[in-house]
Structure 1
Amino acid sequence: MCRKGARIPIIAQLSAMFGFVLVLFLALLGYVLYHFDSVGNMAGSLIQHTSARALLLKDAHTDFTRALLSMRGFLFYPDGAAVYEQSYREEIQKSLEIVRDYNATSTMADTKAAGDKLEKLISDYVILGDQVIAAKKANDPNLSQYTGQGRQLVANIDEQFLQINKLQGAYLSGKSESLIDHSKARVRLAALLSIGIFALVIVLVYLYSRNVSKRFGNLSRELAEVGKLDLTGRDVFPTRNDEIGDMGTVIIEMRRALKTFVQQIQTTGQMLASSGEELNATVDEHLKAVQTVAGSIETIAAGVGQNADNIGSISAALQQASAGAQQISATAGAVNSQTYDAVHEADTGMNLLGAVVGQNEQIAAAMQEITNVTSLLASGSEDIKGIVGVINDIAGQTNLLALNAAIEAARAGEAGRGFAVVAEEVRKLAEQSAGATQDIAEIIGRMGGEIASAVTTVDKANTEVDKGKLAAADTQKGFELIIATLGTVKNGIEQIAVAIEETAKGTQSMVASVQNISAIAEETSGNASTVAATVEEQSASMHEISSNAESLAKLATELNSIVRQFKI
């Protein structure tokens, strides 16, 4: 399959063509924009320089006229002579400076010469104006002569302003006409280029459309030939790698596939015709074989009936054995469950006994602490008794000292009365201390008896706790032996239960197998009858197949006649 060049899709071809046209139009647009920009620059230059200079010259003429008015005011209005003089000098100076700026920016020879002349005339008028002002101030008789010269000079200056304005107008008119002619020429060129580009676009579109139409015409002719069942056309591969070329390739491949398909149908039709004859002969042989099979199946059915009776007896015996094994397995499971419960209860008792042993240990430790505390209390009570004795002795001595102090106070008379009161209070306090000490001694005595009784009781409790610890330890060892024995019994029962369960499963499997065999035997017996009937049906089907084979041969002949309509 031949393809020339790289693949260029139709969208790429159209994009390239319209892109080329777009580039041309953009180039034309750029040229037009450049032309208008150039014209705009020329017009801007004309406005900024020529027109601006014309306005500048007009301002100079206006300032000169104002200076003349100020000069007349100076001459004819003495009251404001100073103001008019100042205004004249400012206006005439402004006019002269504007003319000088105009001359400095002049580029044309004639306007340059006219500007220089105007500058000289205004300068002469400035000199003459100074003379007129001086003559006016001095009442010089030559004032009339100066004013006459001034009028002549003013006329010359006005004439010169008019001449320069004419030169500026002529220059501006010439530049404007040149700019207009230049714009018209560029517009005509742009119009010609637009017409040329438009004509080029029309030619490109025509050529491309003609080529596409021709290629689609070729595709249409090839499809028409295929529609007329004419597959003998020559394969003309497309020369362009695009979508139309793909369509041409698909048509070529379709024609080739149709040609191959028709050839295969022709070959198959011939094979069907020959196979139909062979099928008739084969069907006759199958009819004979089917009759032989029918006789054999009747003999097999009789033997299968006897086997089914024997298998039924075996199945009943195995079912009884399976029921016994299942009952034994259930009993072993119950014993195993009871043994497991006994082991669990023994474990629970063992745990509780361990808790009792731990509590006994805690009780023994607590009793020991109580013993220590009671011993300390007994010792402390003895110490308190000694302290109480000391306090009692101190109270007695204090009482004696208070008595002596009272005696000494009585001897002192009035001066010792206050001391006697204090001695009396001390004596009372000593008596109270002695009484309190006696009460404490009695309480300590009672506490000592109670502490002694508590010590005796705690000693007895310690003895009983030691006996309880020994009994709990012996009980714990007995529980450990019981748990070990029950564990051994449990393992043995579990092994027995597993063996019985496997036996029950094996028996059930045997029962199921025997039942399957019995069912198969019964099914075989039934199927033998079915097969016999099927053989008869097959015999009838063979006759029908023979008839269909003849019809198939006729269809193959008709198919060959249809296929011959294709030209390959």
Structure 2
Amino acid sequence: MRLTIRKKLIGSFLLTAFIFGIASFISFANLKSTQESYTYLLDTVSELRSINQEIDSLIGRQTSDLRGYLLYENETFLHDLRFNNSEIQRLIEEAKGLATLQETITRFDDVTVLNESFINEVERVITLVPTDKEQAILMTNQNIVPISRDMRDASSQLKDWLEDILEENEATTIQTSEAALRVVMIVSVLAFVIAIAGGIVVSNTISRPIMKMSALAREVASGNLAAERVNVKSKDEIRDLNQSFNQMTDNLKEILSNIAISSDQVAASSEQLNAGASESVRAADQITESIQSVASGAEKQVESTNTANEIASNISKGMDQIAKNVQSVTESTTLTQQKSKNGLVVIDKTVSQMNEINNKTDQISNVIMSLEGKSKEIGNIISLITAVSDQTNLLSLNAAIEAARAGEHGKGFAVVADEVRKLAVESNDSASKISQLIHDIQQDIQRSVTAMSEGNESVKEGLVYATEAGSEFTAISESISDILKQIEEVSTSIKQISLSTVTMVQSIDEASTIAENASAYSQNVAASAEEQMATMEEISASAETLSRMAEELQATVRKFNL
């Protein structure tokens, strides 16, 4: 079997590569397995952390929705609360589907239990709101708020648990990587030792025959073509090289013999070469003139392409500036749209508050109207008291007259009648004062009724204006959205124009480069033609010396030992 140098080298390299391959495969398999495990766990834990963060946010929202419902009794808050509660449950089920550790599933189950307790307590509180709102608030503070706090604590503990899992897995990954590194180092050292041993063996089988051939080559270089030949017996390329070298030596002997014969013919050919060189000089003159004309045209083309390149570059810079301005307008318009949306929200809140004020104003008006009716009833009663007082006063006068007629027997009765008259007068005076106060109160109530009516009308007008303002803000927001779409279309068009301009600049640069190269090539050709002329002249001169060189060559050949 022919064991060539190539096979020897390939065999030693393959052995080394095989050992390195085993080490690489082992390390790659370990690292890949570790990486896949770590990547899967990292992705899973990251997803679980994201879900847990969203659950934590929803816990706060549903608590806020409950407070909003208790404050305003708006069904929207109740609808949002139930939606957030069901969304928490959905996210928990999604997280349990991703989790692989039972401890993680158990922790999510704990949140599920608390979430169900939360919604159950909420339903109990909701039934109390219409009848006993204070009791509903008390139950919220005593039962629901602690559950919400426990849910937030469970979510926080779950977050810490997921971070601990990542830290443990990272430590395991580091240990696995270090073990794989140790295996690679051991196999690498083994491969290094084997490679050195194989290199020494292979180098000895190659270097010894080559040293013998090197000695023979020095003999041949000194002119001794009759030196003893070297015979290599190894079945590889060195034996082929040895045979080729021996053949080369024999061929060199034959060539030198032929050179001696050909040197005579060279002397005769030199004269013919001199004549041909003269003809080449004349042709080179004509070529030089043509090339110079081509070079002049190429230089003009280079100037034109440079001018076009400057124009295209200016266009490209202008388009970049336009794109920046459009981007600035887009940002300003987006900010304006956000402000208009915020204004619309404020107007909605204002309308809601004005509706509430309108309702309260109506209630106050009803109360004042009721007071007005009561004051009229009091006035009627005072009028009755006044009439009774007048009648009592009249009766007391009559009684005094009758007592005076009775003489001594009616004195006691006269005193009583006088006291009754005084009481009647005082009652009449008091009734008059009360009547005046009631009259003043009725006037104040009437003014209050008028003011409340005017205030109610103002509130209604404010509602109309606020509603119209909301409509205007909505129209503004829609207009801004249309403007944003148009700006996006303009921005897209500008980008396309900018890309086209860049392409045009590149094309002009390529054309300019080609023109410059053509000009340079033309100048090079002209220079080459001039050099060719000089060369032809040198050839003519060299032809004369060629004959002398042939004679010297014959003298040199005679120095070899053939």
TM-score by length of 2: 0.38
TM-score by length of 1: 0.38
- CA radius of gyration, larger in: 1
